[in-house]
Each structure stands twice: as C-alpha cells, then as structure tokens.
C-alpha cells in the first residue's frame, strides 16, 4: 500500500508537530505510570498476584479501569462528555452541562494564549521574560483601577480598561528592558524578582488604596462595573463562562503573526534573537530592539491579566495569579511547547488549559490529585524540549545525522 | 607506521561525505590530502582519529585491521592529530598542556612536573622543537603554540601525525619553519598526513598528493604536478589561478583613515595610530598575520568598535564613531571576516539574508510592514545574477555551502548603493572555484569606480588582488608597497622588520 508507506515516511521524518503529538503521548504514559504507582487499589490488586493464580488478569483490569477512569474524566471534564452531549442533542436539554467543559477550557486558554505570546515574542528576540506573571498582575491592577475608579460611557470604558491593562504591563516590561539596555542588568534576574514586587504591590493596592472594596479589611478589590467586563459570549443567562476575551486572544494572535512574520520590527527581533552579532553588524540598534520587545511583551502580559479579570472574576483579591494560578509562569512552558510561534502557542494553550480544567474534574471524580495534570504538562514540555529522546523512543529517523549535516554545511570540512 | 585505509565510506543522512576512500601512507612519508572545503577531508580525518565511525571500510595499521572507537584508541595506536584550531588551555603552561589528560603523577596523585618537563625536553631534543616548558601558552606566538601541539602528539609516541590545515594561521616564515619540522619528522621515520587546500605549500613539502573531491579519491600525483593540474583535479574543471585585472586608475580618496587608535576588549591599543587612504578605482590590500589589529581596524571603520582617537572619513563625511546603521547608509559595503557570526543569520532564509541590512528600505518594507514579495523577487534576481546554488530563496541559509553563503553576502553588499567595499578574509574557507568568483567580483567593484579595502592573511590573495599592499604589524602599518614586491620582503614587514628599500 503506497499511501500507508507515505504516511509512515511522513511519521518517520519527525516534523515539530509529530514531535509535539508524540510528546503528548509520552506525557500521558508518564502520568499513567504515576497513577499506577500511587493508587492503593491498583497496588493492592498487584500485591494479590502473589497469592493466587487468577489474579494477574484481575490486576490488569484494575489498572486499566483506574488509569482509564482518570484520563476519561480529564477528557470529559475539559472537552465533552459524549453521553451528556448525546442527551442534549436528542432531547434539546442540558446544553449548559454539555458545553461547560469546552467553555471552561476556552476560558482558561484566553489569558494563557495572550501571556504565552508575550513570552514568545521576547524568546524570539533572544530574551527571557520570566516576569510575565508580574506584568499580568500589574495589568490586572491597572485595569481594575480604571474600571472601578473612573466613570465613563461604556463604549469608551471597556477599551480604556483594556488599554490600562496594557499600560500596566508596559510599565512592568519597561523596567527590566531599560535596565538591561542601559546597565546590562540580566533580564532573567530582574523579571524574576519583579514578580514578587508586583505581588506585594498588589497587596498594597488591595489594602491601602481606594481600589479596596469599601468597608472591607480583607485584600479584595471593588468589582468591575458591567460595562467594563468582557461579557459571556452566549449571555449571562447561558451559564457558560466563555467570554469575549476570546476575541481579544484572537486579535492578539493575529497581531503576533503580523509582528513576527510580516513587520520590520519583528524581523529585527528575530534577527537579534537568532544572531545578535549579525544584527549589530547589519545596523540594528540592539538597545532599541530589546526595549521595544520588552514593551510589547509586557503590554501583552498586562492585557492577559486584565482579560482574565474582566472575563471571569471581575475583581481581584490576594490570590490573583498566585501559586498554581500563575498563568505568567505556565506561559513560559506554553511558549516553549509552541516553539514561540503564535499558532503553535494557541494549540499549546488549548492543551494546557484542557489539562488544567480536566485535572480538576479528575480529582473530583476519581480522587487522583489535580497535581497529576501538572505532572503531565511538565512531562510533555520535557519531551518537547528533548526531541532526540522522543525520536529514539519512537524510532524516528535519527536527528543526529541531520544536525551533523547542518554543521558540515558550513566551514570546517 | 604504514597506514592503509580501505573503502572508507561515511554517510550523513543522504549526504555521502566519504565514498569508498582508499589511501596508503608509507612510513616516513609526507602524504598530502588536497581538496576543496566540503570535499570530505575533515570527515576522513575524524574517522581516522576515532572521532567518527565509518559506515563501511577498514583501517589497517602496519597491515593489521584496527577498530578506533574513540580518539583515545587512536592515540594508543600511535596516531596524533594537530587540529586547525588548537586544543590548548591558554592559561596553562606548555608542560601542563602537553601532559593534560595523561598526567604523570607521584604518590597521592600529585602531579609530577619534573617528569612532565623532562618529557618535553627529550621530545624537543629529539626532533629539534625548541620551546620553554614553563611558558604559558597564551604568551607564545601562534607558530610556537602549534609546536606545542606537535610536541603533545609526539610525547604520546605518535607514529603518524595528522596536520589539519596547519599553515592557515602562520606567517610565511612560520610556515617555512613548519615545513622544515615536517621534513625532519619524516626523516626520522614518522608518517605525516597533511591536509590543505593551498597548492603552493602542498607541492613544496609533500611526497605524494592525493586529491579528493565530493568524498571520492580523484587520484594520487607526485608533487611535480603543476598547480593548474592540481586545481583542476580539486574543482573538476579548469580554473584560473591568476586574478585577471587591468591596471588601476585611482581617483579621489574615498576612505580616509587618520591616526586611528582603537582598543580591544582588554583595553590594549591594538590599532595604534593607523593612517590609510583608499582611492576610488583602486584595491588596497591589507596584509598581516592574524591578530595584529586588522580585525579591530575594520570593526572601527564599520562602526562596530569604539574609536579612541583619530578619524574615519567616508566620501568626505566624518563617520568616526557613527552607528553601523549610519555608516552602512553612507555607502559602506562590508564583507565581514567571520561571516557566519557577523554576516548572515543561518536559520533565516536566503531571501531574508539578502535584505539583512536593508529590511526597512523601500520596496522591501512600507510603514513597518515588510513586502515579502519584493524581498523574494529581489533575492531571486540576485541568486540568478550571482549564481548562488540554493534549492530556493526560501531555503534556510544553513543549507548552503560556505562558498554559496559567501556569495549571498557578496550579492547583498554589491546590490546596495556603494562608495567603498571593505572585505575581510573574503575567500577564507572557500574552494578554488568560489575564490575565483569572489576575486572577479571584487575587481569588478573596483572597475566600476569604487574604492575597495581587502583584509587578508593569505599572502597570495593580497599580492594578486591589491593595487597597493599595506602591511600591518602590532597595530601599525609597517609599510605600503607595490604588489610586485617580493614575498620575502612582505613577509619581513609582516614580522615587523623593514626590509631594505621600503619606507
């Protein structure tokens, strides 16, 4: 069969997309191993094989049941529950329950797409923005401040709220950018530490400024008025949280495609990232490029922060983007997963959001901790970052010969 | 040692770097492996030194088949290699470098320096390779550093020495000294495998010359073969080894460098009061052993390095310490010395590399948006007229050979409005065919009435291309001579001493 042959060849030639899909498979395998090693029911069943002959079959069944249940609930919790969906299709009822998983995944994906693109842009410039989370926090604060403390007609108020979010992030990006350009301070250190500055600055604004909800002692902000919120896509009565933030994320994706693939400044970003020496010799002002890259990145990270608040909670408290909710940190891995390309980042964000949302469902249904989703995410990123390993495992055409070929195409031979 | 390679084949994916190579090196023979870049010389040497494993074929030492799984195996079998880029630790002493990896120790693992020094002295005595065992390597001139590499190989009792392009970094005098060493080593029974693409020296020192092209042995010839014959074997067609050019008709000065002082990264004045004029319609070739300030001089002219004092004037405009952008826009074309570092972005397409320093200029971009069609059309025109061999203009530059990468740079620089062309080592690492091409283009730029400054450490190139030859030594111009001056006299200037009859 020639077509099967071609498909096989294509599989063996190992494109980045193949690698990403295989990394997903391997990530799930790692997750399965961890489920097996940590679920008492499975371990007990295998322990039973020491006592009776018929037990291995039983133990295998228990294993598959448990792992299957876990992964099934990740799927049904994040994408669709087929029986429930079929019920909606046949009876026309229960659509909210049928669509909630997908709605939740998309809701989580929105800020992740924006923040990951923010990080990806600096990566393409050869810079590390580890501070997207802090910039997103600043964006959230600025957005909530403009939304709650300024009174404007709606047509102006929402755009201004989003712009304020961008501005907040720009400030957060400008500081490491300027410090690196003019003093040589390493952006990894500065951006990393600035996450803490942003978090504590947030506590300050929530406790000691007019942003705090009146008559409150807790760290909680006023609520954004309706006109400044990113409204649910299907109306408030739909019960689905997915909101117009999707439009914002889409716009950011299109902007990033233009920026990186079509704009002059994006060309200079990529040149600087790929070969700073050649960039300099070609007359590119390295300082200017790195500052602009950081301003754009910070601005988008800020937009991610405000899009999250305006689309979901509508207020911020001390837990805003803290701990496992720190999308700015997840964004670093998503950017890596998507190879810093906007389209790749969109797919990566959807995957990570699905694992995130599905993980909660898994914990609720099977008792397997939500953290397993994080483990799977991490494993996927590790596999994506080590394509040689993936190719070795799946017996793909050797990468090494390829890289040698590239190396010998140059000098030295 | 008698070395025999039988049917060595090495493939990288679809590329066959070595295709059934047979080669015999007799004891006491200087055997030269001659070939263009990319012909497969380095691959073959890496196979022989155990750094790569052959897919087919066998290696026989004194008639006995051997398996060399790594370089340690090769060293134990008596094979020593002197790499083109020295594998020495600059801050260590000569003795420390020589024993590195095979350190003699006394009890309790203490290094036995006395024995290390004694080893070196005995090797030095035996082969006449004088060097102070206690000198730090970085304080030695390049020629002596190379000697340390040779001593290192000999101290491991090497019977076969592989020398990979050993003369690339030497002055003519140092190269002559090396040839003498090679002859004396051969006389004492060592076999030498000498890799080069320089026809002159190959004929001077070899007993047998084996030419390889595209991974295959083309043939073995005695050193009496003519240069044209060897070049034709290397390239596969007749090539012109002489640069065809008419007499220069210099006009007004275009590039004027006055009393330039430039410091390197360590703060030393590596360009120390250089004055130089390049006129429209002439080629000034700057000769000198690498590391005598030529690199920094060019960096200062192109705006990549701060000028401490003095001035650079381009077409009547003072461009001293202006940004690279302004200098490029003022009409300076630059073919950088390290082209993969400064001249191209390997991961980007051929088309993008063609507009690397003009991405914002019309018609390649308007209002900050690139016109990819214009970029592609531009690249297709240049690929066509400069005969760049590439599968498409969208192919990444890394997929091109070194010569074609250089053509991309030449095409790009010559397609901009130009006042002066500054070309550093324009043919380094290129094969004979590409060298011929680049030389022709450079002469064409001159004939179009532009000023050209060439910087090269290849004396042949300097003498063939230059209408005037300036020699640089330790940051100063030691002489500006006519290209008809003898090689010996230029060599003396390169070493810092003025021969009689020059200024």
Instruction: Give chain A's domains with CATH numbers.
Output: 2-88+392-408 (no CATH), 105-367 (1.10.3470)
d(CA B465, CA B460): 9
Q: Which of B38, B365, B400 has the CB atom closest to A413's CB atom? A: B38
Q: Is the pLDDT of residue A272 over 60?
A: yes
Identify the CA nearest to A362 among candidates A21, A26, A29, A31. Answer: A31
Torsion angle of C-alpha atoms B395, B400, B404, B405, degrees rounded to 10: 80
Q: Is A270 on the interface with B (CB under 8 A)?
A: yes
Angle, alpha carbons B399-B232-B457 (nearest 5°) = 65
Alpha carbon distances (Å) from B457 to B168, B397, B442: 8, 26, 17
Q: Is the pLDDT of residue A409 over 50?
A: no
Strand order from edge to edge, sheet including B468-473: B332-335, B420-424, B451-455, B283-287, B468-473, B476-481
Residues 6 or more apart whose Cβ sits within 8 Å of residue B191: B1, B2, B3, B25, B26, B27, B28, B29, B31, B159, B160, B161
Domain range annotation of chain B = 3-235, 240-331+418-503, 344-416
Interface contact A283-B325, CB threshold 8 A: yes
CATH topology of domain B3-235: Rossmann fold (3.40.50)
Greatest Cα-to-Cα distance within chain B, rounded to the nearest angstrom: 74
Q: What is the pLDDT of residue B107?
A: 74
Interface contact A277-B342, CB threshold 8 A: yes
Interface contact B38-A284, CB threshold 8 A: no
E-assigned strand segments in B62-182: 64-66, 79-82, 160-164
d(CA A132, CA A304): 9
Partners of residue B327 in chain A, C-beta under 8 Å: 283
Q: Is A13 on the interface with B (CB under 8 A)?
A: no
Scanning the structure block, which residue is given the tokens 């609720």? Answer: A364
Give ipTM to 2 decimals: 0.85
Interface contact B369-A258, CB threshold 8 A: yes
Q: 3-state DSSP call for residue A13?
A: coil
CA distance B429 to chain A (A): 7
d(CA B13, CA A398): 9
d(CA B469, CA B462): 7
Q: Is A399 on the interface with B (CB under 8 A)?
A: no
Q: Do domains B3-235 and B240-331+418-503 have the same CATH topology?
A: yes
d(CA B351, CA B236): 29
Please report which helix (H) or strand (E) contains residue B282, including its range.
Answer: none
Please give the DSSP secondary-structure letter assigned to residue A313.
I
Q: What is the pLDDT of residue A55?
A: 66
CA distance A288 to chain B (A): 13
Q: What is the pLDDT of residue A53?
A: 64
Q: What is the pLDDT of residue B400?
A: 84
Candidate from A201-210, A396-405, B168-177, B436-445 with smallest mean pLDDT = A396-405
CATH topology of domain B240-331+418-503: Rossmann fold (3.40.50)
How long is chain A?
Answer: 413
Please report which helix (H) or strand (E) contains residue B454, including its range.
Answer: strand B451-455
Please give the DSSP secondary-structure letter assigned to residue B499.
P
Q: Which of B17, B40, B347 has the CB atom closest to A274's CB atom? A: B347
Q: 3-state DSSP call for residue B129?
A: coil
d(CA B286, CA B455): 5
Q: Are A277 and B336 in contact (CB under 8 A)?
A: no
Q: What is the pLDDT of residue A13?
A: 63
CA atoms lying within 13 Å on the CB side of residue A349: 34
E-assigned strand segments in B40-131: 56-61, 64-66, 79-82
Q: What is the pLDDT of residue A9?
A: 65
Q: Are B52 and B46 in contact (CB under 8 A)?
A: yes
Q: Which two tokens stand for residue B237?
A: 């067609």
Q: Which residues between 337 and 396 in chain A have a beta carbon less than 8 angstroms from any beta carbon of chain B?
A: none
Residue-wise pLDDT tens digits, A341-360 = 999 999 999 999 999 999 99
Residue-wise pLDDT tens digits, A311-326 = 999 999 999 999 888 9
d(CA A347, CA B428): 45
Q: Which two tokens stand for residue A232?
A: 């649910």
Q: Which residue of B has its CA nearest to A273?
A: B345
Q: What is the pLDDT of residue B17?
A: 84
Alpha carbon distances (Å) from B470 to A364, B42, B286, B313: 81, 34, 5, 18
Q: 3-state DSSP call for residue B24?
A: strand
Which residues pair with residue B479 across a beta bridge? Answer: B471
Q: Which of A268, A281, A283 has the CB atom closest to B336's CB atom? A: A281
Partners of residue A409 in chain B, C-beta under 8 Å: 398-402
Q: Which residue of B has its CA nearest to A411?
A: B402
Partners of residue B401 in chain A, C-beta under 8 Å: 409
Angle, alpha carbons B234-B238-B241 (nearest 5°) = 80
d(CA B344, CA B335): 10
Torsion angle of C-alpha atoms A277, A278, A284, A285, degrees rounded to 10: 0
d(CA A26, CA A30): 6
Which residues pair with residue B4 across a beta bridge? Answer: B24, B60
Q: Three-class SS string for B302-314?
A: CCCCCEEEEEEEE
d(CA A49, CA A36): 15
Task: Among A264, A268, A292, pick the best mutation site for testing chain B contact (most B Cβ within 10 A).
Answer: A264
Q: Are A275 and B343 in contact (CB under 8 A)?
A: no
Task: Among B52, B357, B364, pick the best mutation site for testing chain A contact (most A Cβ within 10 A).
Answer: B357
Q: Which is more confident, B16 or A54?
A: B16
Q: 3-state DSSP call for residue B309?
A: strand
Q: Which two tokens stand for residue A184?
A: 């040589």
Q: Is the pLDDT of residue A397 over 70?
A: no
Interface contact B401-A271, CB threshold 8 A: no
Residue A403: pLDDT band with limits 50, 70, 90? very low
Candidate from A12-16, A20-24, B428-432 with smallest mean pLDDT = A12-16
CA atoms lying within 13 Å on the CB side of residue A334: 35
Identify the CA nearest to B406 among candidates B338, B327, B332. Answer: B338
Which residues pair with residue B59 across a beta bridge? Answer: B5, B66
- The mean predicted confidence, pLDDT, of chain A is 90
Q: Which of B40, B326, B344 has the CB atom closest to A278's CB atom? A: B344
Please give the DSSP secondary-structure letter assigned to residue B163.
E
Q: Which two tokens stand for residue B297?
A: 């001089």
Residue A408: pLDDT band with limits 50, 70, 90? very low
Q: Which residues between 237 and 266 in chain A have a beta carbon less than 8 angstroms from any beta carbon of chain B?
A: 258, 262-265
Per-residue pLDDT in tens (0 to 9) along chain B, 503 residues: 899 999 999 987 777 888 999 999 999 999 999 887 767 888 898 899 988 889 999 999 998 999 888 888 898 899 999 887 788 898 898 888 888 877 777 777 777 888 888 888 888 888 878 888 888 888 887 788 888 988 888 888 889 999 988 887 677 778 888 899 899 999 989 999 998 878 888 898 999 999 998 889 999 999 998 888 888 888 887 777 778 888 888 999 999 999 999 998 878 899 999 999 999 999 999 998 877 899 999 999 999 999 999 999 999 999 999 999 999 999 999 999 888 889 999 999 999 999 999 999 989 999 999 999 999 999 999 999 888 888 899 999 988 877 789 999 999 999 999 999 999 989 876 777 778 888 999 999 999 999 999 998 788 888 889 999 999 998 999 999 999 988 888 888 888 877 655 54
Q: Which of A262, A268, A278 has the CB atom closest to B341's CB atom? A: A278
Q: What is the pLDDT of residue B340?
A: 87
Q: Three-class SS string for A188-250?
A: HHHHHHHHHHHHHHHHHHHHHCCCECCCCCCCEECCCCHHHCCCECCCHHHCCCCECHHHHHH
Interface contact B325-A274, CB threshold 8 A: no
Please give the DSSP secondary-structure letter assigned to residue B214.
T
Task: Among B359, B365, B395, B427, pick the best mutation site for testing chain A contact (most A Cβ within 10 A).
Answer: B359
Q: Are B454 and B423 in contact (CB under 8 A)?
A: yes
Q: Which two tokens stand for residue B235?
A: 């390239």
Partners of residue B356 in chain A, C-beta under 8 Å: 271, 278, 282
Q: 3-state DSSP call for residue A15?
A: coil
Please report which helix (H) or strand (E) contains residue A410, including its range.
Answer: none
Interface contact B37-A413, CB threshold 8 A: yes
Q: Which of A271, A278, A402 has the CB atom closest to B343's CB atom? A: A278
d(CA A229, CA A132): 22
């Amino acid at each position: 069969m020639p077509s099967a042959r071609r498909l096989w060849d294509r599989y063996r030639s190992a494109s980045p997309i193949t690698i990403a899909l295989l990394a997903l498979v391997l990530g799930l395998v790692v997750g399965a191993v961890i489920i097996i090693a940590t679920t008492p029911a499975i371990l007990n069943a295998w322990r039973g094989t020491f006592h009776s002959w018929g037990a291995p079959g039983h133990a295998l069944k228990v294993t598959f049941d448990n792992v299957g249940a876990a992964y099934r609930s990740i799927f049904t919790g994040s994408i669709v529950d087929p029986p429930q969906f079929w019920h909606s299709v046949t009876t026309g009822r229960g659509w909210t329950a049928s669509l909630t998983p997908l709605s939740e995944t998309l809701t989580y994906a929105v800020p992740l797409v924006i923040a990951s693109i923010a990080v990806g842009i600096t990566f393409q410039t050869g810079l590390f923005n580890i501070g997207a989370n802090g910039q997103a926090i600043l964006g959230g604060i600025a957005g909530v401040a403009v939304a709650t403390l300024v009174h404007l007609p709606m047509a102006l108020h929402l755009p201004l709220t989003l712009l304020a979010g961008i501005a907040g992030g720009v400030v957060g990006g400008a500081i490491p950018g300027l410090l690196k350009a003019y003093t040589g301070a390493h952006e990894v250190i500065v951006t990393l530490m600035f996450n803490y500055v942003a978090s504590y600055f947030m506590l300050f604004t929530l406790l000691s400024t007019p942003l705090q909800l009146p008559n409150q002692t807790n760290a909680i902000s006023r609520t954004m008025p309706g006109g400044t919120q990113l409204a649910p896509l299907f109306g408030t009565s739909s019960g689905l949280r997915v909101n117009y933030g999707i439009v914002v994320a889409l716009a950011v994706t299109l902007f990033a495609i233009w920026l990186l693939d079509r704009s002059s400044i994006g060309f200079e970003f990529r040149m600087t990232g790929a070969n700073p020496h050649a960039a300099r010799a070609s007359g590119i002002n390295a300082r200017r490029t790195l500052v602009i890259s950081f301003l754009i990145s910070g601005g988008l990270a800020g937009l991610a922060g405000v899009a999250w608040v305006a689309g979901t909670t509508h207020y911020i408290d001390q837990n805003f983007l803290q701990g496992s909710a720190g999308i700015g940190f997840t964004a670093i891995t998503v950017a890596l997963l998507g190879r810093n390309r906007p389209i790749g980042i969109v797919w990566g964000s959807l995957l990570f959001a699905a694992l995130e949302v599905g993980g909660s469902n898994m914990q609720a249904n099977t008792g397997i901790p939500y953290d397993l989703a994080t483990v799977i995410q991490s494993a996927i990123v590790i596999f994506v970052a080590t394509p040689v390993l993936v190719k070795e495992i799946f017996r793909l055409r050797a990468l090494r010969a390829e890289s040698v070929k590239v190396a010998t195409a140059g000098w030295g031979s | 040692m008698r070395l025999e390679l039988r049917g060595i084949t090495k493939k990288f994916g679809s590329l066959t770097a070595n295709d059934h190579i047979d080669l015999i090196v007799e004891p006491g023979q200087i055997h030269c492996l001659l070939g263009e870049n990319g012909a497969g010389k380095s691959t073959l040497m890496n196979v022989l030194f155990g750094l790569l494993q052959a897919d087919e074929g066998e290696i026989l030492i004194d008639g006995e088949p051997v398996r060399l799984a790594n370089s340690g195996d090769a060293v134990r079998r008596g094979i020593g290699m002197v790499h083109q880029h020295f594998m020495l630790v600059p801050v260590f002493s000569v003795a420390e470098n020589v024993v590195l990896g095979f350190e003699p120790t006394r009890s309790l693992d203490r290094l036995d320096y006395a024995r290390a020094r004694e080893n070196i002295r005995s090797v030095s005595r035996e082969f006449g390779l004088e060097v102070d065992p206690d000198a730090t390597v970085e304080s030695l001139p390049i020629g002596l550093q190379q000697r340390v590499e040779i001593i290192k190989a000999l101290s491991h009792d090497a019977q076969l020495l592989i020398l990979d392009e050993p003369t690339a970094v030497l002055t003519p005098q140092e190269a002559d000294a090396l040839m003498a060493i090679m002859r004396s080593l051969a006389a004492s029974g060592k076999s030498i495998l000498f890799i080069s693409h320089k026809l002159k020296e190959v004929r001077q020192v070899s007993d047998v010359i084996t030419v390889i092209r595209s991974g295959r042995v083309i043939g073995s010839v005695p050193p009496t073969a003519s240069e044209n014959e060897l070049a034709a074997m290397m390239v596969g067609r007749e090539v012109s080894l002489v640069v065809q050019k008419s007499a220069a008709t210099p006009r007004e000065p275009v590039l004027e460098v006055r009393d330039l002082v430039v410091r390197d990264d360590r703060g030393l004045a590596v360009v120390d009061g250089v004055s130089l004029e390049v006129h429209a319609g002439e080629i000034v070739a700057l000769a000198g052993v690498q590391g005598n300030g030529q690199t920094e001089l060019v960096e200062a002219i192109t705006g990549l390095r701060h000028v401490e004092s003095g001035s650079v004037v381009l077409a009547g405009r003072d461009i001293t310490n202006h940004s690279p952008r302004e200098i490029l826009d003022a009409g300076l074309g630059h073919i950088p010395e390290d082209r993969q570092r400064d001249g191209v972005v390997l991961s980007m397409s051929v088309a993008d590399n063609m507009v690397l320093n003009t991405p914002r200029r019309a018609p390649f971009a308007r209002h900050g948006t690139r016109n990819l069609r214009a970029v592609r059309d531009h690249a297709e025109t240049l690929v066509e007229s400069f005969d760049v061999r590439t599968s498409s203009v969208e192919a990444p530059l890394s997929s091109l050979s070194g010569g074609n990468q250089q053509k991309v740079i030449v095409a790009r620089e010559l397609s901009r409005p130009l006042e002066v062309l500054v070309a550093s080592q324009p043919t380094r690492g290129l094969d004979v065919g590409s060298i011929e091409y680049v030389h022709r283009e450079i002469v064409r730029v001159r004939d179009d009435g532009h000023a050209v400054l060439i910087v090269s450490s290849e004396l042949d190139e300097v003498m063939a291309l230059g209408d005037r030859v300036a020699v640089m030594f330790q940051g100063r111009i030691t002489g500006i001579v006519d290209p008809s001056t003898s090689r010996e006299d230029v060599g003396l200037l390169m070493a810092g001493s003025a021969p009689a009859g020059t200024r």
